[in-house]
Structure 1
Amino acid sequence: MTGRRVVVLDHTGQLGGAEIALQRLLLAVDDSWDVSVLLFSDGPFRVSLEEAGIDVEVLEMPERTSGQSRTTLTDPRVLVRSGSDSLAFARTVAQRVQRLDADLVVANSLKAAVLAELSSWRSRLPWVWHLHDRIAPDYLAAPVVFALRRLARRATHVVANSRDVARLTRLPPSRVRVAYPGLPDDAFTDDHTPPTPPVFGLLGRISNTKGQREFIQAAALVSKDHPDVRFRIVGEALFSDHPYAVEVRQLADELGIANRVEWTGWAPDPRAAIDGFTALVHASPLPEPFGQVILEAMARHVPVIATLGGGVGEIVGAPPDAPLGAGTVLCTDRGRLVAPGDVAGFAEAMKAILREPERNVQLARSAACATHEQFSVNATATTCQAAWRGATGASRPPD
């Protein structure tokens, strides 16, 4: 063992934003930490970690619990079933963590945080929560918000992925740090050549929280004046989101633009997918905890259209409490912002991209510069390691 032993817990084997951020972080931490990852289900994330040389193993959690999305947590039957499964599984997690001779447990998801707390009663280890979700009633059911805020108080430290996420924990500043999911140096390019004909792209899991419906509705408005423009949806539906994916495909048919919309499925190389866009559209109708795909596009000089809310304004440089009316577009020095769910605003922002190519280049250069200065993975690692050091030297927080 080369340093203090850290065991990271994550409930999924899928490659989402939190998982990509974790892998980048683990490759950036220094050798004073000996890190391994425990996943509660298998999948591409396990393969990616192994290919990166990161120690990883899978402890299979019952699929009926590991596969539950946060939107199903309003059902009391689901809560009871998940609670029972989690209590039983926590014993397995605690035993494995103890065998690994861990000094610290790090939870990288909501479900992992529940297991970290439940297993800590047996292992008696400190645990740090890397929080990638907004603990708020517009994001989670009210009883779940209450429970998760109580859970955050049990963590030795919380590391939030934006100031907005940190604020919503309602923890004192001494207990929560902000570490933006940073990018490695190879994420950056020097320029971007827009495709011909123009392509507006949305990259992310197909879900009603990601805004594919609003993207399709805006695409129909843009197509009336720009019949040559194409629209690309990159991603797949997970968990209980498959009916939504079917609904959105049907919507494209109903609006008469099915022949202009391309569905690529999961992208093995998101950077290549982003490079193929004229502009990236981030259309989440609910405030995003962070918005890592926006950062990816900015680093590659690809213009950005995004919904203002959550951590997005921190990325795109929006002034505090920036007003946004229906159908209006706020242009910062890094990109264009619209109100969540504002289909007319999305359409107007796309039209602005089409008619202002020189301004697009200026904004993209400014965004790439800001990303390089403010969102480096090395800065992420510095903040996270400070939280880890504080946790390994701290006692368990009081109830």
Structure 2
Amino acid sequence: MKILFIDQSGQPGGAELCLMDIARPYRDRCLVALLVDGPFKDLLEQQQIPVQVLAQQSIEIRKDSSLWLALSRIPALLPLLGQVVKLARQFDVIYANTPKALVVGAIASLITRRPLVYHLHDILSASHFSHTNRQIAVTLANRATLVIANSHATQAAFIEAGGRPELTRILYNGFQPDNYLIPLHEQEALAKELDLNRDTFWVGHFSRLSHWKGQHILLDALALCPEEISALFVGDALFGEADYVQHLQAKVKDLGLENRVRFLGFRNDVPQMMSLCHLITHTSTAPEPFGRVIVEAMLCGRPVIAANAGGATELINSGQTGWLCESNAPQQLADQIIFCHQHPEQSQVIAKAAQQKASQDFNLSVVNQQLAQILQPLSSEPT
């Protein structure tokens, strides 16, 4: 089966990292078409996955865009559509990995009569998308042959928004557990490079800097914790969210946390960075579609505190493989951080149970086998 993967982003976000893992077994018979250039192309090339950039500038349609704005961007889509149609004729399946990719992929599917797969990495709700964009996404996805949801939460939101249940299959993100077992000497070398005090209790937060990812909540919680507890933030602003970064920096000063907070920007060594932390927090203010960093922390053997909503509730059994706290509740988060700091042995028992569960439930080899089974019926689709 020859697959044309389409993705809208040049930046390596969670959906893109998932796509890279999915495309790797098909690299001798696939192409990843990117709607904009960026470092994600370099990562694909490093994995020897064929990639082609179709445009140099992103089409400015945001998740909260109005109908008028969406319609005004149609002329910009036409050149892309022409390229995708031409490429699609060389493949058996069109695999749209993001909402903008769905738009061009759905039209190309109609023109070329290739089956369309939509991999849904988003919760189609009012907290994430405008009414117009939800309607566009659902209408186009309902014309697909298959909709793959990355959690029960994304599947439920899709159906609630008007999606056809019979089209959906659930496929969790897959990971290679061995990549998250970081030797102690590597941890020590990285800590020395970053000048991190190994006696400090480091709480990690791994996400792009965005208001809905809730970094401000961790800062508020940190202010309620003892001074020997500090925080590392790994990630940077994307999609025009520089104002939020300034807000976070001002908040650090207002709370007097200058000596207890480190912003390290975007990094490619997430497992290594997680290994330096005593605890990982996830603080999204809206339901998370899946929660990639939660599984990564579990695989690293680090205890996790996550927001009690969306896909996170499917990943963690609170009190057994981590803890769930209510969203936007700094005091509750602080109390749980303090508990983990004061009870390291109990926290480590829970972290080890989580590591074992994640290694079994989210193993990439198993997930890719499941995907192959899901896609297999499409090989007989008429083209």
TM-score relative to the length of structure 1 = 0.87
**RMSD across aligned C-alpha pairs, in angstroms?**
2.1
Could you tell me which of 178, 189, 203 is aligned with 1:186?
178
Verify: 1:369 aligned to 2:362, yes or no.
Answer: no
Which residue of structure 2 aligns with residue 316 of structure 1?
A: 316
Once residues 231 and 180 of structure 2 are traced to their aligned partners in structure 1, the CA distance between those partners, rounded to angstroms, is 24
Question: Offset at 1:11?
Answer: 0.8
Query: Conserved in 1, the CA contact under 8 Å of 2:229 and 2:260?
Result: yes
Q: Alpha-carbon deviations, 1:84-137, whole Å to 9, x = none?
A: 322442122212332xx1111101111111110122232221110111001112
Once residues 309 and 83 of structure 1 are traced to their aligned partners in structure 2, the CA distance between those partners, rounded to angstroms, is 35
Once residues 56 and 142 of structure 2 are traced to their aligned partners in structure 1, the CA distance between those partners, rounded to angstroms, is 25
Question: Offset at 1:8?
Answer: 0.3
Once residues 150 and 40 of structure 1 are traced to their aligned partners in structure 2, the CA distance between those partners, rounded to angstroms, is 21
Could you tell me which of 169, 175, 195 is aligned with 1:177?
169
Once residues 147 and 13 of structure 2 are traced to their aligned partners in structure 1, the CA distance between those partners, rounded to angstroms, is 20
Verify: 1:221 aligned to 2:224, yes or no.
Answer: yes
Verify: 1:241 aligned to 2:235, yes or no.
Answer: no
Aligned length: 369
Question: Offset at 1:49?
Answer: 0.8
Could you tell me which of 6, 10, 27 is aligned with 2:3?
6
Which residue of structure 1 aligns with residue 40 of structure 2?
A: 45
Question: Offset at 1:211?
Answer: 0.6
Verify: 1:211 aligned to 2:214, yes or no.
Answer: yes
1:126 corresponds to which letter in structure 2? P
Could you tell me which of 90, 107, 112 is aligned with 2:81?
90
1:125 corresponds to which letter in structure 2? R
Verify: 1:114 aligned to 2:103, yes or no.
Answer: yes
Q: Secondary structure at the match of 1:36?
A: strand
Question: Offset at 1:165?
Answer: 0.7
2:177 corresponds to which letter in structure 1? D
Which residue of structure 2 aligns with residue 299 of structure 1?
A: 299
Query: Conserved in 2, the CA contact under 8 Å of 1:199 and 1:278?
Result: yes
Query: Conserved in 1, the CA contact under 8 Å of 2:92 and 2:379?
Result: yes
| Pair 395,140 (structure 1): closer, same or farther in 2 beyond 3 Å | farther
Once residues 333 and 127 of structure 1 are traced to their aligned partners in structure 2, the CA distance between those partners, rounded to angstroms, is 39
Once residues 312 and 86 of structure 2 are traced to their aligned partners in structure 1, the CA distance between those partners, rounded to angstroms, is 39
Question: Offset at 1:77?
Answer: 4.3
Question: Offset at 1:150?
Answer: 1.5
Which residue of structure 2 aligns with residue 70 of structure 1?
A: 63
Q: Secondary structure at the match of 1:221?
A: coil
Query: Conserved in 1, the CA contact under 8 Å of 2:61 and 2:70?
Result: no
Question: Offset at 1:30?
Answer: 6.5
Q: Alpha-carbon deviations, 1:127-177, whole Å to 9, x = none?
A: 101110011122211222222222221111011100111122214553111
Q: Secondary structure at the match of 2:221?
A: helix
Once residues 195 and 259 of structure 1 are traced to their aligned partners in structure 2, the CA distance between those partners, rounded to angstroms, is 15
Verify: 1:102 aligned to 2:99, yes or no.
Answer: no
Query: Conserved in 2, the CA contact under 8 Å of 1:5 and 1:102?
Result: yes
Which residue of structure 2 aligns with residue 321 of structure 1?
A: none
1:92 corresponds to which letter in structure 2? Q
Query: Conserved in 2, the CA contact under 8 Å of 1:271 and 1:296?
Result: yes
Which residue of structure 2 aligns with residue 348 of structure 1?
A: 335
Q: Alpha-carbon deviations, 1:9-59, whole Å to 9, x = none?
A: 0011111111111112223x368x712111111122111111111111111
Once residues 231 and 350 of structure 1 are traced to their aligned partners in structure 2, the CA distance between those partners, rounded to angstroms, is 11
1:131 corresponds to which letter in structure 2? L
Once residues 164 and 131 of structure 2 are traced to their aligned partners in structure 1, the CA distance between those partners, rounded to angstroms, is 21
Structure 2: 5+ residue runs without aligned partners?
Answer: 188-196
Once residues 394 and 161 of structure 1 are traced to their aligned partners in structure 2, the CA distance between those partners, rounded to angstroms, is 24
Once residues 119 and 316 of structure 2 are traced to their aligned partners in structure 1, the CA distance between those partners, rounded to angstroms, is 22
Q: Secondary structure at the match of 2:52?
A: strand
| Pair 395,169 (structure 1): closer, same or farther in 2 beyond 3 Å | farther
Query: Conserved in 2, the CA contact under 8 Å of 1:159 and 1:384?
Result: no
Once residues 259 and 190 of structure 1 are traced to their aligned partners in structure 2, the CA distance between those partners, rounded to angstroms, is 27
Structure 1: 5+ residue runs without aligned partners?
Answer: 318-330
TM-score relative to the length of structure 2 = 0.91
| Pair 385,123 (structure 1): closer, same or farther in 2 beyond 3 Å | same
Which residue of structure 2 aligns with residue 60 of structure 1?
A: 55
Question: Offset at 1:82?
Answer: 2.6
Query: Conserved in 2, the CA contact under 8 Å of 1:62 and 1:85?
Result: no
Once residues 198 and 321 of structure 2 are traced to their aligned partners in structure 1, the CA distance between those partners, rounded to angstroms, is 20
Could you tell me which of 23, 26, 48 is aligned with 2:23?
26
1:134 corresponds to which letter in structure 2? I
Once residues 149 and 139 of structure 2 are traced to their aligned partners in structure 1, the CA distance between those partners, rounded to angstroms, is 16
Once residues 270 and 204 of structure 2 are traced to their aligned partners in structure 1, the CA distance between those partners, rounded to angstroms, is 11
What percentage of aligned pairs have identical amino acids?
27
1:146 corresponds to which letter in structure 2? Q
Once residues 298 and 26 of structure 1 are traced to their aligned partners in structure 2, the CA distance between those partners, rounded to angstroms, is 24
| Pair 30,114 (structure 1): closer, same or farther in 2 beyond 3 Å | closer
Once residues 118 and 369 of structure 1 are traced to their aligned partners in structure 2, the CA distance between those partners, rounded to angstroms, is 43
Query: Conserved in 1, the CA contact under 8 Å of 2:63 and 2:133?
Result: no
Q: Secondary structure at the match of 2:359?
A: helix
2:377 corresponds to which letter in structure 1? G
Query: Conserved in 1, the CA contact under 8 Å of 2:182 and 2:275?
Result: no
Query: Conserved in 2, the CA contact under 8 Å of 1:117 and 1:155?
Result: yes
Which residue of structure 2 aligns with residue 140 of structure 1?
A: 129
Once residues 174 and 383 of structure 1 are traced to their aligned partners in structure 2, the CA distance between those partners, rounded to angstroms, is 18
Query: Conserved in 2, the CA contact under 8 Å of 1:191 and 1:301?
Result: no
Tell me whether 41-50 or 193-202 shows the greater mean CA deviation.
193-202
Tell me whether 283-292 or 129-138 shows the greater mean CA deviation.
129-138
